[in-house]
Structure 1
């Protein structure tokens, strides 16, 4: 979860860079703002890492990233594990040893494995299926075809093709590719829409309607009875979560939602990933519910900013009228 005093962040990512000059050079980092961070790594603005400052490696491209971390601390743990799969305690020792290919000359300690497109894909796959990270509401984005091919190849091997959570979302956006029918020859094309990291939402705008629904229900104390246990829910007592879907006002105790989502879980998990709303019967992501809940409970400034009405633009036609 997020810290005790802040909501789940709008976006926090762990990313992988590859040098466009030397394809064997990679860098792993974390950030809430991928476009700005890439500009820093490429020296366009201040604040880049020393390891990416060499001119003979720039420009860098962001080939893949993982989003959906519940806090910056969670992202930093994943980043460290991705950089150090041979040492991370989040990886079971048997799997940890499988990524070690060399040892240091002194003392025989495991040496950090060299990064390659294949190793990045294999380590991502490994981390996304270990218990420490598998149940987080994560999403994998690929912005480079070579990186996605390496991921697909790794996932297709029988030795490692099992273990990923069924709800894991994998998104591809290779951008800049002209699609058939986008325009005839000689026709002036409109400005292309943003793609890749520039199309990622950096704020809470994607959940604005969901947050507004929650504000309307809870401010006017319309939560009613829990849709799971059927007990009356009193305002200000306990934590109440709301169905994510438009048109559904199903509300329940967080503990009841959790039990409902996990009732058919044979693994004995504590934290759910996904389930179905008892009222509208549609699939609901636990991470989305918790983002709205933490905004409502801890993010009063963020909610006020998100739902603030923008002033209407005054045009010449309006003045004439």
Structure 2
């Protein structure tokens, strides 16, 4: 059976779960849909995990998560490494900070018990190791004390995360730190506050679970390619032949710069003076705007691997535009 290639997922996360009854009880998992998964862990819908099924530990809350994984497999690798840092091959032996002091009957090392400190320290380590450091990941916290633990560990650790790595926080409507970019949070019972109808979505409920944030970008790229307005490659200046090879479009609104995928990659790597194989970010040679490689690749894989998904996305966008209420004259 042939495995069909899939686009980069709209969202895939590795999350940290904590019991609101007993904060020492922690769990690590992965999901493309944090609200649904939290509902399962709390017994509000089918699913969940045996380790989170004890009623005396419910409800659970998500106190942190890592987002931006390019595939389910990538997220599962990170989840396994974070859960088993004492034996993970993703962590160089000289960098290992988690060790097993006991063995199972089979002779294999027994997993060290989870604690907030161990999770935070190993999370910091995994986000720095070569296996994961260049992935387009972001770290989210939505419990103030957990974020404080992260800050303490980050301050005492000599090795720092790559430049530009995003650490985002949201501790609820009335408990956000000033000057901190809000990203995601969750109510312990997986529901919005009682007055949620009058407030914008927040926490994990505000996370984009589909490709909606890309709709304008997808529409622009589709329009450029459908009407063959690619012109010349923005990097090598050779003519772009419609339908030949992989062609990527600038992510910035209003810019229709197109180019060979290999040219975009070479341009970003050269301007950032790096010997890496794949870039992280760069500037468009036409408009000068800042371009995230991950965003460009998400649109490209969506367009080339899931045309039906693109069609549905653009139909929904068109429907929203046509049904938008007109402003009343005064």
Work out whether the TM-score is over 0.5. Answer: yes
Provide the rounded CA distance (Å) in 2 between the counterparts of 1:46 and 1:206.
29
Distance 1:118 1:231, change over 3 A: same
Distance 1:53 1:259, change over 3 A: same
* Counterpart Cα distance in 2 of 1:79 and 1:314: 42
Change (3 A) 1:151 1:305: same
State the alpha-carbon separation in 1 of the partners of residues 136 and 158 from structure 2.
20
Residue 78 of structure 1: aligned partner: 78
Report the Cα distance in structure 1 between the residues aligned to 2:230 and 2:92, rounded to whole angstroms: 43
- Whether the 8 Å CA contact 2:128–2:161 is kept in 1: the answer is yes
Q: Does 1:288 align with 2:287?
A: no
Q: Secondary structure at the match of 1:56?
A: helix
Q: Call closer, same or farther: CA 1:45–1:216 in 2, change over 3 Å.
A: same
Alignment of 1:132-281 (within 5 A): 132-157=131-156, 160-177=157-174, 191-265=198-272, 268-281=275-288
Does the CA-based 8 Å contact 2:271-2:282 persist in structure 1? Answer: no
TM-score for the superposition, normalised by structure 1: 0.88
For residues 61 and 267 of structure 1, do their structure 2 counterparts lie closer, same or farther at Cα, with a shift above 3 Å needed?
same
Contact 1:38–1:61 (Cα < 8 Å) also in 2: yes
> Aligned pair count?
303
Cα contact 2:272–2:282 (8 A) shared by 1: no
> Equivalents in 2 of 1:264, 1:138: separation in Å?
22
Distance in 1 (CA, whole Å) between partners of 2:58 and 2:196 is 30
**CA RMSD after TM alignment:** 2.3
Per-residue deviation, 1:258:
0.8
Shift, 1:283, TM fit = 1.4
Partner of 1:263: helix, strand, or coil? helix
Deviation of residue 95 (structure 1)? 1.5
Structure 2 Cα separation of the partners of residues 129 and 227 of structure 1: 33
Question: Equivalents in 2 of 1:37, 1:199: separation in Å?
Answer: 15
**In the alignment, is the contact (CA less than 8 A) between 1:11 and 1:203 conserved in 2?**
yes
Judging changes above 3 Å, is the alpha-carbon distance between structure 1 residues 70 and 314 closer, same or farther for their aligned structure 2 residues?
Answer: closer
Structure 1 residue 264, shift from structure 2 partner: 4.8
| Residue aligned with 1:310, SS | helix
Does the Cα contact within 8 Å between 1:226 and 1:233 map onto a contact in 2? yes
Structure 2 unmatched ranges of 5 or more? 177-194, 326-330
Contact 1:140-1:170 at 8 Å conserved across structures = yes
Deviates more, 1:69-78 or 1:264-273: 264-273
